[in-house]
Chain A
């Protein structure tokens, strides 16, 4: 034991603060949150130290899970919401990745004004999310929003009501999130591109590879490890991306994803249903854990050590 501590004490000393903070502020709340999913806790029966009222919620077993998984509309229509969440997540990450990669490839060339283009293209990342949400909400307005004015100018007499009760709202929030998320992907992939040794391209060129073959056989394999990391992170972040939808369309059922519904359940309504919100949280976490496991296994099959 003594030798063990002698050898490792500075490593543990450096890690300890983070472990303590995470344990106290993440793991413990998580355990409590999981516990809540088996109760009927809400604003009315939670312990309230200000009113000096003891907790009076009771255990309900698996009822919350059963109610939600039945797909009942009064519990957020879990399955159709899940499908919408998947459309949202994969739609966003697909465009983040493809547009980000395209721009990174352009920026990786010798282009005059590259530094300026880079600053401009990364700008959406620097703008706080609630400001971007406000800007886009203003631009998407059906009457005076500049987007519809532009569409009318192009001759489209009847442009969509973007943020109304239709699937256009989902399209709109996906557009906003794509705009918001491309810079991160672009910067990460640009770094990945720049770490591919130039010799490989020269060798390919000597061997007579076409540009497409160079892209397929040098660029993409060289980007594999960056891509697998950023795509996984992108999926996790987008799946749980709450601010954009919440700030732009609010409780619109056409843009409802799992996280926003949990939040709706949590904050709105007279009763503030903490139990159902927590159950949603546990289900979200389960979906993501399963996904990460599958993803990791798929990568390992391709010989990736991650």
Chain B
């Protein structure tokens, strides 16, 4: 293989254009204060709800509903301890199920949308246009309404009540958008790379797997983030398609039941919410530096 991934990166036009290296004339102090002020206020609004849940999660249930808000009010780790000990439902089992389902969805959705996106980006084949259009239309389906027919089909395929069935359903939600995103990203990788790979004797799949995919890491990271979140936070399908047994629930479903049974236990609910949010935020932190480049090239090209 003569094409080195590192040397290729330099020629990519998208990366060169994306660096905003224009230097504006010095900003006045007032403008600077205004700029930071606006960003600080916006950041506070963005972070506050999560922060407030975090604060509440340490309070006992009775203190969480007091009418004078305090940051610390008999705060302790009791809520967390009780939830992790399984007093409020089999939390750790739900957690395991959610991780398993979300990871399977991520892997499958990224794989499917990468191959499809690559085919749509590189090859001209009859039916390509209608395929991309159908991906747009699929996003318009109110999935709430597909639940009965979907239930029937999963039953027919023997997947009803299994994690795999749910993973496939999540893929139908995640894959269309991910394909759009990845197609746009593959479009920014020059075709010369593919041709060089073909000249060196790689098959079309080899080019895809060994040359293009490694270059598309930012796009893949964003796709993975999107697919992971789709599966991690979903409630409706999970409650319809997983068996009712407590140990096969996902976090989202388990927590809904918890909410309905314990309407007033805000402290415990907050602690459970924080535990659920942590994995999503970890995934987010891992991919956030790719987020702008990965998403934008997809959206720019549509």
Contacts and interface: CB of A to CB of B under 8 A. Distances in A.
B141 A281 contact: yes
Contacts of B143: 240
A170 interface: no
Contact of B256 (A130, A135, A138, A237): A130
B53 interface: yes
A83 interface: no
Contacts of A131: 53, 233, 273, 276-277
A263 to B, nearest CB: 4
A157 interface: no
Contacts of B177: 233
Interface stretch (A9-17, A58-66, A87-95, A158-166): A9-17
Contacts of B295: 187-188, 191
Interface string B229-254: 10011011000000000000000100
Interface in B131-150: 131, 134, 136-150
B284 A122 contact: yes
Contacts of B115: 14-15, 17-18
A196 to B, nearest CB: 8
Interface in A91-113: 99, 102-103, 106-112
Report whether over half of chain B's contact residues are helix, strand or loop; otherwise say mixed. helix
B270 interface: yes
B72 interface: no
Interface in A210-229: 225-226, 228-229
Interface string B34-73: 0110110011011101101100100000001111110000
A128 B137 contact: no
Given A22-B138, A130-B233, A33 B277 contact: no
A117 B39 contact: yes
B172 interface: yes
Given A15-B131, A134-B259, A201 B172 contact: no
B231 to A, nearest CB: 10
Interface in B282-302: 283-285, 288, 291-293, 295-297, 299-302
Contacts, number: 289
A246 B150 CA distance: 21
A57 to B, nearest CB: 12
Nearest to A264: B144
B296 A192 contact: yes
Given A33-B148, A187-B295, A242 B47 contact: no
A246 to B, nearest CB: 8
A11 B137 contact: no
23 contacts: A11-B123, A11-B125, A26-B141, A29-B152, A109-B35, A121-B39, A127-B280, A135-B53, A138-B52, A138-B53, A179-B46, A183-B46, A188-B295, A192-B296, A193-B20, A195-B18, A259-B142, A262-B144, A266-B145, A266-B147, A274-B148, A278-B148, A281-B141
Given A228-B302, A236-B140, A281-B146, 12 more contacts: A8-B123, A26-B138, A26-B146, A33-B145, A33-B146, A121-B39, A121-B43, A122-B46, A128-B280, A130-B256, A144-B67, A149-B69
Identify the 4 closest CB pairs spanning chains A and B, nearest first.
A191-B296, A281-B145, A128-B233, A126-B284
Interface of B: 14, 17-24, 35-36, 38-39, 42-43, 45-47, 49-50, 52-53, 56, 64-69, 112-113, 115-116, 118-120, 123, 125-126, 128, 131, 134, 136-150, 152-153, 155, 157, 168-169, 171-172, 175-177, 179, 203-205, 208, 229, 232-233, 235-236, 252, 255-256, 259, 266, 269-270, 273, 276-277, 280-281, 283-285, 288, 291-293, 295-297, 299-302
